[in-house]
A and B are shown apart, each in its own frame.
Chain A
């Protein structure tokens, strides 16, 4: 009689240590491949838009040796534009990923696997940071063809680039979890993210603002990101760089805790 061995040797359950590295890596790859799959929309489009912004502002304002903050206007503008497009794309990546998954119902594929709230936060934020940095790098290289970009302090530059991408990825996650319809996230993009990224010193030095608004700007974390990024390029900032080095990571830590908390409690994710 032929014994049946099927039950005798079931596959052993995978032993997962403190961190589910394989799951985390898979989630990260999913997030990255998601945007690479449509790279015309997610990488090329923002680069083209950024170059168009550079063109119109250079043509409208760059003439007659116009300077801003002591450097030629286009050199002042380029770091701001790189930062703006990084922010918008990092936000778009995580918010659309979560919202589409929620609306289509395939969010269960992310919530069911043995991934902790910390791993979910890290994996999805990692995808957004990668998109932000990739777009920023591509936009920077494309601009470099037209504008002589010099780098004053690579460490400061990298610090602000990574923190900006992270801040907007976290905001995108929080927004994507909170939103129930595409209208909601479109409203946040239209009325919060775009205005903040436009008005936080991308196109002008905040010295040009009325004094009261200069104080308001210092409560806007986007301002520190753009200002710090610009310092990394041209070596001149509107604010004190050290202040940004404290404010920006603090804001990121708070946002991280909030996103983590949302995953842990299943806010608007689990029934």
Chain B
């Protein structure tokens, strides 16, 4: 006589971290990114080159400051703009989609701690956003000369910008109830932060009295830090930029972690 219970597979044991669970979430986002590569990768790359072309024809090349060509200045700005956008979308859309479609139960029903869920949603998005940035840089390098001053600054600030926007996206994705809410935040918060970040113009063009407002924009700090990696100059101190990005990321990370732990707008 067979004894069914004796034949049952033993429960999986895992240590402090459920690596396989986090890995599965990570792979899901990565697979999604590459399956829709035409939209997630080729789309931003096309837009970036379009921006470059427009500025080229409208401004006719030239130098933005002595020794710094227009392209060396706005090229890195465009890259951060596109990375920030990709990271925000990647942070917000998957969890909102999971909530709307009811698939979120598959994630919260799995033996994953809130921190593991956070990592599973955010880490692949950072990698994807940095991939977007790398691809755009390579394409730009085909058409224009980009100087390189500090690789550390380039990678560090690319990571910082992606991390911050991915976490912001996750918090927004959890907080909003419908697509309208997401698109409102994108239009009225994220797009202005991106466009008014000094990515496309030097803030020297602004009246002195309002320049401090730009310094409050974390995307501005990211743009200046990232651009420093190319041209070796920044309108802000690199320490300030790094502190702003780290501090805000910590705050948003804590908020997202608390939301996942308490099940805010996720569990009934």
Residues of A within 8 A of B (CB): 38, 40-41, 44-45, 48-49, 52-53, 55-57, 59-61, 63, 68, 183, 186-187, 190-191, 194-195, 198-199, 202-204, 208-209
Contact = CB atoms under 8 A, between A and B. Distances in A.
Nearest to A210: B57
A60 B184 contact: no
Contact of A48 (B54, B60, B191): B191
A56 B192 CA distance: 10
A48 B46 contact: no
Most buried by B among A68, A194, A204: A204
Q: Decide if the interface of chain A is mainly helix, strand, loop or mixed.
A: helix
Contact of A56 (B43, B57, B184, B200): B200
19 contacts: A38-B180, A41-B187, A48-B187, A48-B188, A48-B192, A49-B187, A49-B191, A57-B58, A60-B59, A60-B201, A63-B205, A183-B38, A186-B43, A187-B38, A190-B42, A190-B46, A198-B50, A199-B50, A199-B54
B191 A195 contact: no
A214 to B, nearest CB: 12
Q: Decide if the interface of chain B is mainly helix, strand, loop or mixed.
A: helix
Contacts of A202: 54
B53 interface: yes
B135 to A, nearest CB: 15
Nearest to A42: B183
Contact of B206 (A49, A59, A209): A59
A48 B74 CA distance: 22
Give the size range of B's interface with the partner: 20 to 34
Given A186-B43, A187-B39, A199 B53 contact: yes
Interface in B149-208: 180, 183-184, 187-188, 191-192, 195-196, 200-201, 205-206
Interface string B93-135: 0000000000000000000000000000000000000000000
A194 B39 CA distance: 13
A195 B50 contact: yes
Given A57-B58, A208-B60, A41 B180 contact: yes
Given A52-B195, A190-B43, A45 B53 contact: no
Contact of B58 (A183, A186, A191, A204): A204
Given A48-B192, A195-B46, A198-B50, 9 more contacts: A56-B196, A59-B206, A61-B58, A183-B39, A186-B38, A190-B43, A191-B46, A198-B53, A203-B57
Contacts of B212: none
Nearest to B38: A187
B263 to A, nearest CB: 28
A203 B200 contact: no
Contact of A60 (B50, B55, B60, B188): B55
Nearest to A195: B50
B14 interface: no
B137 to A, nearest CB: 20
Contacts of B237: none
A60 B187 contact: no
A6 B21 CA distance: 66
Contact of B183 (A41, A60, A190, A194): A41
7 smallest beta-carbon distances between A and B, as pairs? A60-B201, A52-B195, A45-B187, A204-B58, A59-B201, A204-B57, A190-B43
